[in-house]
Structure 1
Amino acid sequence: MERRKESAIWRYFTVATPARSTAVCNICKTEVSRGGSSTATYNTTNLIKHLRKHHVKEHAEFEQATSSKGAGGTAQQQLTLSESLQRREKYPANSVKATKITEKIMECIVLDGEPLSLVERTGFRRLIEFLESRYTIPSRKYFTETALPELYKRVRDHIAKQIKDVTAMSFTTDIWSSDVCPMSLLSLTVHWLDTSCTPHSAMLQAKNFHGSHTGETISAAIKQMLDQWRIPLCNVHVILTDNARNMKRAMAILGVRNLGCFAHTIQLVVDEGLLSQRSVSEVLACCRQIVGHFKHSNLAYSRLQDIQMQMQMEPKRLQQDVKTRWNSTYIMVQSLLEQKRALCAYIADHDDLPSTLTANQWALMEKTSIVLAPFEELTRKVSSSTASTADVIPAVTVLRRLLAREGDEDTGIKTMKRTLLQALERRFITLEDKPLYTYSTLLDPRYKDRYFTNPDTAKYAKEALLKELQEGDCRTTAITAEASEAAEPLEKAPRMETAAPSSKSSLMKEFDQILEESDDPGAATSSGPAVEQLHAYFAEKTIATSDNPYQYWGVNRQRLPGLTAAVTKYLCAPCTSVESERLFSTVSDILNDKRNRLTAERAEMLVFTKKNLPLLLCIEDS
């Protein structure tokens, strides 16, 4: 019955019952055989022949209806035997359908970090066979030597098109050495702002790096990568690296501006100012022994878990730290403090712990946690994908104020805070003398000139920024009389309000306190398009620290075109090399113990497409 309802022939014939072997013509009332010997084999061939032979007009209507419904209607003409057989045939390898399925499988392998051997696995092949029986999965060799290079080229062409007309780009770079094979990779990641001031980033290369890691070899390798992407050195705004001497020397040889990773410098501050203290280091050594015991003993962990449940605490594992990452040490201390009651109960019942903490040591841990909390929050803030060099001066200013302030709650931690403050001052003593930091801070509508510790520094920085605008380094030549007339009046832009969180940390409260204490900027002492835009910008109130500065400039780019040109240059630079570290985390997932025979070229293709394919898919899926 379902098939009869779908066919247009039943407009002209009627069947008394589904099992009846004949149909009655509605026009001439003739009974026509339906063919076949049972309901399962009945067809409409004889009915169509009858209509064609005896009712030409109606047959023409039937043909027209069948043609239109076959192109997009709900009913289609019954398949012929040859058509049915054709539907059982496999797709040709070069057919559109087969090509698309192969592309999606390759994208799946790349995005999910699956090995190329996935296409040989029985379960996956059975799944594809069930979903599309006419498709034949190509060999692993095809995916390795053909599909992957084609996808790599497609993604590479897209990235090249995106950065083709960008005149100010920032980069992060780092070197990674594999633990499972003799391979080192030198990465290069690009960051830029588009014409609407939206930030973007993309991995350019993870190049196999042979030989000694000297400044000369690193410089030559980076220059080669830039040349392959046709990026002139004049378009390189800054390159972010770690604080290693060979990296700094490489940037000096290359002749580009270089900044050290802010997160790495904070690591050095915490190490020098706090974690190196004997009393603290001894406590941390005990903490590592305790956490290590539970990590390597299932029996001990089961006992601790039973105690947690008896105390109606959420069962949690203790976190082990990595000595090279101070924030992991903070997380370890926090996890121990959260489980203090359970640990004390465990110690009372069991004596298998390699080390225990005294009451004084528990108190020292609590004080250490309080002191490190703003550093941990700040590290998370500057490690986000939208953080820029504009965040550095305000962050250091806030930390200085928090560490220098004394209160009743600082009992027992004053020495810690003083030592950290000294390390902070020593590491960032020349921070406000660096134009890359000062200009970007001034151009961030959340900060402007409110976070400089020396008023003269802010004054000189604004004068230098104005001079650069007037000299045309930031394309102020685009500010013509015609553009000025077309732009909106230089009025104060409305503040971009966001819903404030119900409770703020001490760090965020300090950011807001500095804004409240800041004085309004004075009047401009000279005139001109650049001066008027600069003064109008500084005359406005800062936006909330939780707002998006890039969104602000996207809205105001027509009103402040000269400043927006400077923004695309100075706010495209991140303040950490976290993107390179995240990149190498992806490499570690791809190049592991089970896949340690991948060539450097193949590994680079896989990590390149995995990191950048989402940029292409967003365009294709929109």
Structure 2
Amino acid sequence: MFHIGGMDTFEGVSESAEGGVGVGEVRNNVVDSDPSNNNNAVVTQTGKRRRKLTSAVWTQFEILPIDENNEQRAKCMKCGQKYLCDSRYGTGNLKRHIESCVKTDTRDLGQLLLSKSDGAILTRSSKFDPMKFRELLVMAIIMQDLPFQFVEYAGIRQLFNYVCADIKLVSHNTAKADVLSLYNREKAKLKEILGSVPGRVCLTSDLWTSITTDGYLCLTVHFIDVNWKLQKRILNFSFMPPPHTGVALCEKIYRLLTHWGVEKKLFSMTLDNASSNDTFVELLKGQLNLKDALLMNGKFFHIRCCAHILNLIVQDGLKHIDDSVGKIRESIKYVRGSQGRKQKFLDCAAQVSLECKRGLRQDVPTRWNSTFLMIDSALYYQRAFLHLQLSDSNYKHSLSQDEWGKLEKLSKFLKVFYDVTCLFSGTKYPTANLYFPQVFCGRRYFEKGKG
């Protein structure tokens, strides 16, 4: 309290129209200095006590002392943001901050309802949206590759009922329909995106036969979107019945291109070096040129897969090496043949102080990079294999020291091709500009090793 010219002046606290408080000049007022009084009350000379601060905002804001500019501010107790709390402003700005505070816990128990069902107390959101639940359920089925019968499992239904007693459970037929509906919505969105692409798009395609002799075709589109970001989308993954000839491939791909509406926006198409692809590309170029849809009549339309070219080079080289790779393959098959052999090999690795977390890799003969990974893992366990040779008389595929040395040199050579193949296989960055320097480095390494 200050006494100036016979007049008592106090920077008092006044109630706002919204139930909060502000700070203004209150004349001829005296503050009750009794500490036992409530801090949120103001007493006048007439003895009348002003109303307490009842606004809910003051449970989350702290009133600060008056600053040098003679202004009163309040600080958020969660994020520390400061706001004016003068009576001229009220508490509207404070309430708006509470709704958008970045440190507000959305899991506040005040936002949950307690309900009782069959004697069990449940906690659930008061804003349960059945349609949102079905959408999330469909996404879970797709992401986790779950069967449609998943929604009818007794345990799952009990879990859903526990989460929300009023939930409406769906059948497997409804779940299937929801999945198809989601697919159609996402397909329409992708069509709209492709239609809005200002430039041209590039395609990649692959065709293979599964172990059940069924053929499958995958068609992927790559493009730069309006924000100049490289995008990749799978347009089709479907069953491809025989024959897998160039004519059949041309009919299938052209039908897909017209369905997606990109037949006039193509720039290039990358394929492997199968002979049927050469026939397919020539037929497709002829159809597209009739619509004048390709640049320079498709002179640079067909791009051969660099990773597949490297694969052919390495596969051809592996044919001419000795049987060291075959011995390693048979050794790993022997170790993994039974649980007893696995344990015995682990004991051998432990005796030579090798960690067993890395494991042995079995290769796929048609994939040379898996052969490199197999050799690399075997070299790590070289001493374990040597110990197994001494302790297991049934192990007949042991390698000599000279053969281990050859495998070590082969691994270093294949490592170069492996790194280049991984670089070429990237999907989040352009790869055409990487071809020449990487192949040149591989050739230099080959010539250096040869010399």
State the TM bucket, normalised to the shorter chain.
0.5 to 0.7
- Residues 359-412 of structure 1 show CA distances to partners (whole Å, capped at 9, x for unaligned) of 11111101111211211111111112224212111211221222223xxxx4xx
Match of 1:243 in 2: 273
Indicate conservation of the 8 Å contact 1:289/1:354, yes or no: no
2:360 counterpart letter in structure 1: L
Query: Are 2:155 and 1:100 equivalent residues in the alignment?
Result: no
Secondary structure of 1:390's match? helix
How many positions carry a matched residue from both structures? 320
Query: Are 2:253 and 1:222 equivalent residues in the alignment?
Result: yes
Secondary structure of 2:233's match? strand
Give the drift of 1:241: 1.3
Indicate conservation of the 8 Å contact 1:169/1:191, yes or no: yes
Query: Are 2:383 and 1:341 equivalent residues in the alignment?
Result: yes
Give the drift of 1:310: 2.6
The structure, 1 or 2, with the larger RCO (C-alpha pairs under 8 Å, 6+ apart) is 1
Pick aligned residue for 2:436 from 382, 393, 396: 393
Indicate conservation of the 8 Å contact 2:215/2:242, yes or no: no
1:140 counterpart letter in structure 2: H
Pick aligned residue for 1:269 from 292, 313, 320: 313
In structure 1, how many angstroms separate the alpha carbons of the residues matched to 2:338 and 2:430?
Answer: 41
2:346 counterpart letter in structure 1: Q
Query: Are 2:385 and 1:355 equivalent residues in the alignment?
Result: no
Secondary structure of 2:216's match? strand
Query: Are 2:409 and 1:378 equivalent residues in the alignment?
Result: no
- Residues 142-201 of structure 1 show CA distances to partners (whole Å, capped at 9, x for unaligned) of 111x20111001111121121112231111111233445x74332211000123321100
- Residues 256-288 of structure 1 show CA distances to partners (whole Å, capped at 9, x for unaligned) of 51122211110111122x311142xx1111111
Give the drift of 1:120: 1.7
- Residues 397-431 of structure 1 show CA distances to partners (whole Å, capped at 9, x for unaligned) of 221222223xxxx4xxx2xxx7xxxxxxxxxxxxx
In structure 2, how many angstroms separate the alpha carbons of the residues matched to 1:277 and 1:210?
Answer: 36
In structure 2, how many angstroms separate the alpha carbons of the residues matched to 1:74 and 1:340?
Answer: 59
In structure 1, how many angstroms separate the alpha carbons of the residues matched to 2:405 and 2:260?
Answer: 55
Map 1:470-619 → 2, pairs under 5 A: none
1:259 counterpart letter in structure 2: I
1:313 counterpart letter in structure 2: L
Pick aligned residue for 2:160 from 125, 128, 131: 128
Pick aligned residue for 1:309 from 330, 344, 350: 350
1:334 counterpart letter in structure 2: D
Query: Are 2:238 and 1:194 equivalent residues in the alignment?
Result: no
Give the drift of 1:237: 1.0
More helix by share: 1
Secondary structure of 1:212's match? coil
Indicate conservation of the 8 Å contact 1:347/1:353, yes or no: yes
Map 1:68-467 → 2, pairs under 5 A: 97-144=129-176, 146-166=177-197, 167-180=199-212, 183-232=214-263, 234-255=264-285, 257-272=301-316, 274-279=317-322, 282-315=323-356, 316-385=358-427, 386-405=429-448, 410=449, 414=450
* Cα gap change, 1:276 to 1:126, in 2 (>3 Å): same
The alignment's C-alpha RMSD in Å is 2.8
In structure 2, how many angstroms separate the alpha carbons of the residues matched to 1:400 and 1:308?
Answer: 37
Secondary structure of 1:192's match? strand
Secondary structure of 1:253's match? helix
Secondary structure of 2:196's match? coil
**Which protein has the larger Cα radius of gyration, Structure 1 or Structure 2?**
2
Which consecutive segments of 4 or more residues in structure 1 shift more than 6 A? Answer: 72-76
Give the drift of 1:75: 8.4
Secondary structure of 1:134's match? coil
* Cα gap change, 1:302 to 1:162, in 2 (>3 Å): same
TM normalised by structure 1 equals 0.49
- Residues 69-122 of structure 1 show CA distances to partners (whole Å, capped at 9, x for unaligned) of xxx99989x99xxx999xxxxxxxxx9822221111001110111122211222
In structure 1, how many angstroms separate the alpha carbons of the residues matched to 2:258 and 2:346?
Answer: 57
Indicate conservation of the 8 Å contact 1:381/1:387, yes or no: no
Indicate conservation of the 8 Å contact 1:168/1:192, yes or no: yes
Identity in percent: 24
In structure 1, how many angstroms separate the alpha carbons of the residues matched to 2:181 and 2:423?
Answer: 38
Indicate conservation of the 8 Å contact 1:186/1:209, yes or no: yes
In structure 2, how many angstroms separate the alpha carbons of the residues matched to 1:285 and 1:377?
Answer: 23
Secondary structure of 1:296's match? coil
Give the drift of 1:124: 1.8
